[in-house]
Amino acid sequence: MASSDLDAQGFAAASAAAIDMFDREVFDYIAALDPCGTALAGVVAHKMKRGIIPCGAPIPDAEGKRFVVIGRKLSDGKEAAALVESVKAAGGTVIKMGFLIEESSFKARRTLLRGIPVESRRIL
């Protein structure tokens, strides 16, 4: 049987990494950037007893609420920046973003996501 991105050991490792990225943060919601982020957000939300916003779901009224964002991969940052803007439009603040993989050649961290702490487990 071939290994896949969704094998049990890989998911356990990704879940542990996601919890580690956010376990020292004080936030109200974890928002997912992509389907993988939704799975990991569910793990973090359950562990930390916080709300979850699955990828593609509308941001509820978030006046004064603090958000963290999780995704599988940060590339050009356009989707991440759009999610940050959606949170802002709803009255919330993104306090941190976490990714399993970051493609540093796009420089999204320094351009579109400037001012938001970003943590990535693997930088390519």
Q: What range does the domain containing 79 cover?
A: 25-123
Rounded to 5°, the CA angle 17-20-60 comes to: 95
Rounded distance, CA 122 to CA 120, Å? 6
Residue 11 lies in a domain: no
Residue 3 lies in a domain: no
Residue 4 lies in a domain: no
**CATH code of residue 64:** 3.40.50.2020
Per-residue pLDDT of the chain (124 residues; tens, 9 = 90+): 445 555 888 889 889 999 999 999 999 999 999 999 999 999 999 999 999 999 999 999 999 999 999 999 998 888 999 999 999 999 999 999 999 988 888 888 777 788 899 999 888 7
Q: Please tell me the total count of domains within the chain.
A: 1
Residue 16 lies in a domain: no
Query: Within 10 Å of residue 104's Cβ, how many Cβ atoms?
Result: 12
pTM of the entire predicted model: 0.89
Q: What are phi and psi of 119, to 5 degrees?
A: -120, 130
First to last CA, the chain: 28
